[in-house]
Structure 1
Amino acid sequence: MNSHDLLPVHTGTVIEDDSLTLEQLCRACDVQTDWVISLVEESIIEPQGNEIHVWRFSGASLVRVRAALRLQHDLGLNLAGIALALDLMEELEYLRAELRRMGRD
């Protein structure tokens, strides 16, 4: 493996009050617009707004797009597989949080 095989790592804080345009989301994740539109069509992310030119995306969408990218790159999943994997990962996180909460009661 050489340095050309590695994807860049971006770090920072997601601020939920801010929203991103489609262009900003694509730039932040280094992906094509068509790919993000495909994620919307598969209900992997949900924009605010009814038309593409007014879509706004939350910080949670940014996190999901980056996770979807990793799943596609690392595991070769298609969009349906990405949707399923992300849903299962969120469910697992929820159940773990419930177990922690129950342990504190």
Structure 2
Amino acid sequence: MSEKDSILTVEVMDSDGSTFTLHEVCLRGECHAEFVIKLVSYGIIAPVEPATEVRQWMFDVAALARLNKALRLQRDLKMNLPGLAMSLELLDEVQDMRKEMERVKRQLRQLTGEW
């Protein structure tokens, strides 16, 4: 795989426990609340804790990053919401498999004595 073909994976680490209101998420994602509500209904993003009213929803940094990824996919590939949900789920699975492959490679190097 050449440098041009490599894929950059960024993992969001939320060390300070920051949360954002629905309004703040919309501002940061430059999108309408209706879009965020639809993403929640499709399970694409989720509030930190369930709330009885949409206005009380709070989102973490990971949800904000996922919102931005969903916005890029929709803008660049013209995906509908079911397509976004499936694509993001598959991307998550690929990322999990890559992490598992790296873990197995480390274990194999330890067992064979290679560092």
Separation of aligned partners in 2, 1:99 and 1:14: 21
Residue 21 (str. 1) matches residue 16 (str. 2): no
Separation of aligned partners in 2, 1:99 and 1:89: 15
**Greater Cα offset, 29-38 or 48-57:** 48-57
Which structure is larger by alpha-carbon Rg, 1 or 2? 2
Residue 41 (str. 1) matches residue 44 (str. 2): no
Q: Which residue of 1 aligns with 2:97?
A: 95
Written as runs of structure 1 = structure 2, the 5 A alignment for 1:1-105 is: 15-16=14-15, 17-47=17-47, 48-50=49-51, 51-105=53-107
Quick check: which one's strand share is greater?
2
Separation of aligned partners in 2, 1:87 and 1:103: 24
Q: If the length of structure 2 is used for normalisation, what is the TM-score?
A: 0.77
RMSD (Å), alpha carbons: 1.4
The total of aligned residue pairs comes to: 93
Superposed structure 1 runs of 4+ greater than 6 Å apart: none
The share of aligned pairs that are identical, in percent, is 37
How far did 1:49 drift? Answer: 3.0
